[in-house]
Amino acid sequence: MATSTPLWEPSAERIEAAPLTAFAAKAEARAGRGFSSYAELHRWSVAEPEAFWDLVWDFCGVVGDKGEVVLADGDRMPGAGFFPEARLNYAENLLATSGPGTAMVFRGEDKVERRLSWNELHALVSRLQQLFSSLGVREGDRIAAMMPNMPETIAAMLAATSLGAVWSSCSPDFGEQGVLDRFGQIEPVVFIAPDGYWYNGKAIEVADKVAAVSAKLSSVKKVLIVDYLGTSGDVADSIGKAVSLNDAIEPFAIKEVTFKRLPFSHPLFILFSSGTTGIPKCIVHSAGGTLIQHVKEHRLHAGLVQGDRFFYFTTCGWMMWNWLVTGLATGATLLLYDGSPFYPSGNVLFDYADAEKMTYFGTSAKFIDSVRKADLEPIKSHDLGSVRTISSTGSPLSPEDFRFVYEGIKRDVHLASISGGTDIVSCFVLGVPTEPVWEGEIQGPGLGMAVDVWDDDGKPIRREKGELVCTRPFPAMPIGFWNDPEGKKYHGAYFERFDNVWCHGDFAEWTGHGGIIIHGRSDATLNPGGVRIGTAEIYNQVEQMPEILEALAIGQDFDNDVRVVLFVRLAPGIALDEALEKRIRTKIRTGASPRHVPARIVAVTDIPRTKSGKITELAVRDIVHGRSVKNKEALANPEALELFRDLPQLAS
């Protein structure tokens, strides 16, 4: 994996302009010593958490009353309390900017384009806040939205959180049971949904689903229908307790938004685990922890400054939506996109980047891989002069795709592969804009995050694969899980493996450059002959082959051992014959190791994935072993699971 030269190095001008550089100077003043490298700054941030997080609050301009204490019970995980005396409001921080400048640009494929100024955003939040108050929404109540990634969704979230209500969202492509599995647990008082949405150029109507869901959410007092297709009034008329959003806010005059300042640990968001192995866990995140972690990542790691044009391709069912919207706190303009990233062509997001002078282009590893395999070359077809950073997450970015970003998209760009999760609504490891980018490597651990890689005995290891852990508390740890009063589920999810240490469930490895490679989820790790293998190591090899569009690997229990089975989705016109199987095995053997070579290779026409686009190895493993998949509603294409049931190729 190691190469002799980096793919990219920041210029002296970039380093000087980076907010991280200014932050490091202030950190040096507080520490009373200099830092010769990012690694030294990171070590200080972990060793002196009170000084570090206090500086983050000040440097990032958090709005609120900080209090005197930065960290209480700092030796407890869980149990540590950050800023226990603080009072703040998340929405107040996101709406700190005002004026005629653009707060959001929204594109719904090629069907809808809208812009909201900061003043228009304030006005919409004001009317929504008054509406929610009139409906009796109180501090701690839940407001749930099954919504596209559009301005009304963000405005409703800001109005809810301005009052101290708790926000939860998913995307409108979820099935009825998938929505109920999530929102049914948290008992929302308001349910927000669209009249429909656009996908692949088609209008997708959701009235029947909204009616069915709202009828079963007995806690809901009012259903608000947001206009997207132009039919919100008709949809609202067909559903009990429903009203179109436009009609609901019409009586309220615009006035100044008020903000209820609450404790740092007050609940803000409820996010959900993928739910592919059972009913989704409801993960509760705090207002202060989410805010301070996000502004740290945005300002210091993403390099965002006021006026930047901030984009992440995401739905409202993925934590990257929550991460994206906090970008308002830096004064950045949010560039929102809803729909297929390949409609009407694979260039649509690059067209958007050029048209809106995008500075931060965030997407998934799968999107970058799909652009490469579609033989698109934005480096030739687009200017992309404004794009300072390209960010990738959702799954490990292969070395091949690291190279493609620089060869096929843009040469002078900071490629920030980032990794964290719904569990922390943020990142453990991510980009460092003042450091080089090395092929296949995430640049480093986040500031303030005591990230390490441990072996099965709980000992730190270097240049070997092991469990990604965080050994000290951090503000973005969840408050807990919903309906888990004694914290047993929460403790079992992260702290059972190693006492007082967060075990994240990623299979990871430190590199010689101080970076990190994520080899996939550790619960999907393969163990042939007792040797742990990350699935991403296999994908990195086979997905370089033009014959293979994508792959999925599992471990199959067989003959008192575990054997590697590789499923491949082939390019059009390609057949899995003996010659191709041989090329696949050779590619894996030479590019990874003989232990990675699959015992069986099976061609399939589709691969199941979650709503956020991640392939779901665990669900396939259950099907192959004859076990039921408990929550197919979590999948975007549950019908694909049947392709893996009772395969004769796996019987011997």
**Domain map (residue ranges) of the chain:** 128-260, 528-650
CA nearest to 183, candidates 150, 158, 220: 220
With a cut of 60, say whether residue 276 has pLDDT above it. no
End-to-end CA separation in angstroms for the chain: 35
User: 361 or 627: whose pLDDT is higher?
Assistant: 361
Give CA 93 to chain center in angstroms.
Answer: 21
The pLDDT tens digits of the residues spanning 228-263 come to 999 999 999 999 899 999 999 999 999 999 999 999
Q: What is the DSSP string of 588-631?
A: HHHHT-GGGS-SEEEE-S---BBTTS-B-HHHHHHHHTTPPPTT
Q: Which helix (H) or strand (E) holds 481?
A: strand 480-481
Confidence of residue 216 (pLDDT cuts 50, 70, 90): very high
The pLDDT tens digits of the residues spanning 30-61 come to 999 999 999 999 999 999 999 999 999 999 99
Residue 551 CA to residue 615 CA, distance in Å, equals 9
Confidence of residue 526 (pLDDT cuts 50, 70, 90): confident
With a cut of 60, say whether residue 591 has pLDDT above it. yes
Helix/strand number for the chain, H first, E second: 21, 32
Give CA 167 to chain center in angstroms.
Answer: 16
Rounded to 5 degrees, what are φ and ψ at 543? -80, 0
For the chain, percent helix, then strand, then coil, each to nearest 5?
Answer: 35, 25, 40
Side-chain half-sphere exposure of 156, counting CA atoms within 13 A: 30
What is the overall mean pLDDT for the chain? Answer: 94
Is 515 in contact with 441 (CB distance < 8 Å)? Answer: yes
Task: For the domain made up of 128-260, give the CATH fold.
Answer: Rossmann fold (3.40.50)
pLDDT given at position 532: 66
Report the pLDDT averaged over residues 270-293. Answer: 87
pLDDT given at position 319: 94
Residue 460 CA to residue 65 CA, distance in Å, equals 39
Residue 226 CA to residue 208 CA, distance in Å, equals 15
Rounded to 5 degrees, what are φ and ψ at 13? -65, -40
Please report where in the chains the tokens 């007082």 appear, as a residue: 500
Q: Which helix (H) or strand (E) holds 355?
A: helix 348-356
> pTM for the whole thing?
0.88
Confidence of residue 440 (pLDDT cuts 50, 70, 90): very high
| Alpha-carbon Rg for the chain in angstroms | 24
Residue 543 CA to residue 524 CA, distance in Å, equals 18
With a cut of 90, say whether residue 610 has pLDDT above it. no
Amino acid in position 579:
A
User: 516 or 396: whose pLDDT is higher?
Assistant: 516
Task: For the domain made up of 528-650, give the CATH fold.
Answer: GMP Synthetase; Chain A, domain 3 (3.30.300)
CA angle 227, 233, 236 (to 5 degrees): 95
Is 381 in contact with 408 (CB distance < 8 Å)? Answer: no
pLDDT given at position 293: 98
The pLDDT tens digits of the residues spanning 353-390 come to 999 999 999 999 889 999 999 999 999 999 999 999 99
Spell 350-375 as b/e; 16+ CB within 10 A means b.
bbbbbebebbbbbbbbbbbbbbbbee
The pLDDT tens digits of the residues spanning 393-424 come to 988 898 999 999 999 999 999 999 999 999 99
With a cut of 80, say whether residue 66 has pLDDT above it. yes
The pLDDT tens digits of the residues spanning 80-89 come to 999 999 999 9
Work out the burial of residue 36: count CB atoms within 10 Å of its CB; fewer than 13 is exposed, 13-18 middle, 19 or more buried.
exposed
Side-chain half-sphere exposure of 192, counting CA atoms within 13 A: 31
The pLDDT tens digits of the residues spanning 179-208 come to 998 999 999 999 999 999 999 999 999 999
Is 78 in contact with 499 (CB distance < 8 Å)? Answer: no
- Whether the ω angle into residue 399 lies within 30 degrees of 0, i.e. cis, is no
Side-chain half-sphere exposure of 297, counting CA atoms within 13 A: 33
CA angle 30, 35, 38 (to 5 degrees): 115
Spell 81-105 as b/e; 16+ CB within 10 A means b.
bbbbebbbbbbbbbbebeeeebbbb
With a cut of 50, say whether residue 1 has pLDDT above it. no
Residue 124 CA to residue 152 CA, distance in Å, equals 8
Tell me whether the CATH fold assigned to 128-260 matches the one assigned to 528-650.
no
Q: Residue 182: left (phi > 0), alpha (psi -120 to 50), or beta?
A: alpha
pLDDT given at position 278: 64
| The dihedral formed by the CA atoms of 504, 505, 511 and 515, expressed in degrees to the nearest 10 | -40
Please report where in the chains the tokens 């026409």 appear, as a residue: 605
With a cut of 80, say whether residue 631 has pLDDT above it. no
- Whether the ω angle into residue 648 lies within 30 degrees of 0, i.e. cis, is no
CA nearest to 509, candidates 456, 465, 449, 457: 465
Is 155 in contact with 125 (CB distance < 8 Å)? Answer: yes
Residues 6 or more apart from 195 whose CB is under 8 A from it?
A: 205, 206, 207, 225, 226, 227, 228, 229, 230, 231, 232, 234, 235
